[in-house]
Amino acid sequence: MSTHADYRLTQLDQLEAESIHIFREVAAELERPVLMCSGGKDSIVMLRLAEKAFHPAKLPFPVLQVDTSFDFPEVLVARDNWVDRLGARLVVASVDEAIRNGVVVDDGKTSRNRLQIGTLLHAIEEGGFTAAFGGGRRDEEKARAKERIYSHRDEFGQWDPKNQRPELWSLYNGRLHAGEHMRVFPLSNWTELDIWHYIARERIEIPSIYFAHERKVIARDGMLLSASDAVQPRAGEMVEERTVRFRTVGDMTLTGCVESQADTLEKIIDEIAVARVTERGATRGDDRFSEAAMEDRKKEGYF
C-alpha cells in the first residue's frame, strides 16, 4: 500500500479496497457463500483478495471448482497450493460425475463448456450456497460489461439482463427468495492489465502456463490449441512445437494459447500493455459461436 501526502489512493489500491469491501459485505449478509475458483489468474487474485479481507482469520467460505476433466494439470497444482496454504475447504463438482448421475446429458454434441453450467448449478443447489463469487471482469466481454457486481439469479440459476436491480454507491442488495442465489463479481472493475500489475506487486503464485514455454500445439480455427488426449490433430492438421503462453485458462479443448516470449511478469505486462486483441478474442473458442454467445450462456447460469 502506497499512501500519499495528499491522501490519494492509486487506482490499484482503490480496486483492491473495493473488492475487499465486497467480500466482507457478502460474508456478513449472505448465509452460505462459496468462491468459484478455476485456478486461473482471476480466481487466484480473488483468493488473494479474500485472504486479505479476513486476515488473520481464515476464509469464511469454501472454494468450489468445476472439474471438466480437461483442466490443465499446472492449473490444478496452483489451485491446490493456494487452497492448502489458506487452509480452505475445497468442493469439487465434476462434470463426469454429473454426466454419470444424469444431472447433465452428454449427447456428444454439447461442449464441455456448456455441460459445466448444469454441473455448477447442481453443485450450488446441492451445497445450499446462496452466493457464489466469480472472477468475471467487465472488460472481458460485452455482456459482462453490463452485469452488476451482485448479479441476481432466479431459482433456475438464470440471469435476466433486462431486469437487473439498480446498484447504487457501494450499497449492495443481497435479498433473496428461497432457491435463488447471487453471483458476486469482486473483480468487476479490474482490467486484464490491472490483474497482472497486482500479481506482480503482490508476488502471487500463478500457474506456470501463463509464462512462455515450449508446447506441442495444433492450429485450429485461428487458435493454437494444446495437443493432448482431448485435442488430437484432425485430417490435414499438424502438431508443431512452439513457444507459447496462455492468456486465459478454461478447459483444454476450447482455450487457445498465443505465441509469446514473455517468460517473466515484467515481460507479460509489457506484452499486455501493447496487445491489440482481447484475451477472450484471442484464445476462447467458447465465445466464437455467435455474437451473443456469452450473454446466452450467462442467461442459462454460466459463470
Partner 1 sequence: MARVGADMDLLRFATAGSVDDGKSTLIGRLLLDSKSIFEDQLASVEATSASKGYDYTDLALLTDGLRSEREQGITIDVAYRYFATPKRKFIIADTPGHVQYTRNMVTGASTADLGLVLVDARHGLTEQSRRHAVLLSLLRVPHLVLAVNKMDLVDYDQAVFERIVAEFTAFASKLNIPDLLVVPISALKGDNVVARSEAMGWYEGPSLLHHLEHVHIASDRELRDVRFPVQCVIRPKSDEHHDYRGYAGQVAGGVLKPGDEVMVLPSGMTSTVAGIDLFDEQLGEAYAPMSVVVRLTDDVDVSRGDMICRSKNVPTQTQDVDAMVCWMTTAPLRAGQKLAIKHTTRTARTIVKDVQYRLDVNTLHRDLGADQLGLNEIGRVQLRVTQPLLVDPYERNRTTGSFILIDEATGNTVGAGMING
- Closest approach of partner 1 to the CB of residue 76, in Å: 26
Query: Does 197 engage in binding with partner 1 (CB under 8 A)?
Result: yes
Of 18, 74, 97, 205, the one binding partner 1 (CB under 8 A) is: 18
Query: Does 42 engage in binding with partner 1 (CB under 8 A)?
Result: no
User: Which of 123, 131, 177 minimizes the C-alpha distance to 150?
Assistant: 131
Of 42, 194, 251, 286, the one binding partner 1 (CB under 8 A) is: 194
Gap between the Cα atoms of 250 and 66, Å rounded: 11
User: Is the CB of residue 254 less than 8 Å from the CB of residue 235?
Assistant: no
Query: Does 20 engage in binding with partner 1 (CB under 8 A)?
Result: yes
CB of 42 or CB of 141, closer to partner 1? 141
Gap between the Cα atoms of 131 and 30, Å rounded: 7
Pairing of strands 239-245, 213-220: antiparallel
Of the ranges 34-42, 120-128, 159-167, 236-244, which one interacts with partner 1 (CB under 8 A)?
159-167
DSSP letter (8 states) at residue 86: H
Query: Does 99 engage in binding with partner 1 (CB under 8 A)?
Result: no
**What strands, in cross-sheet order, belong to the sheet with 181-184?**
90-94, 63-67, 33-36, 131-133, 181-184, 150-153
259-298 mask for partner 1 (x: CB under 8 A)? --------------xxxxxx--xx--------xx--x---
Query: Does 166 engage in binding with partner 1 (CB under 8 A)?
Result: yes
Number of residues that bind partner 1 (CB under 8 A): 71
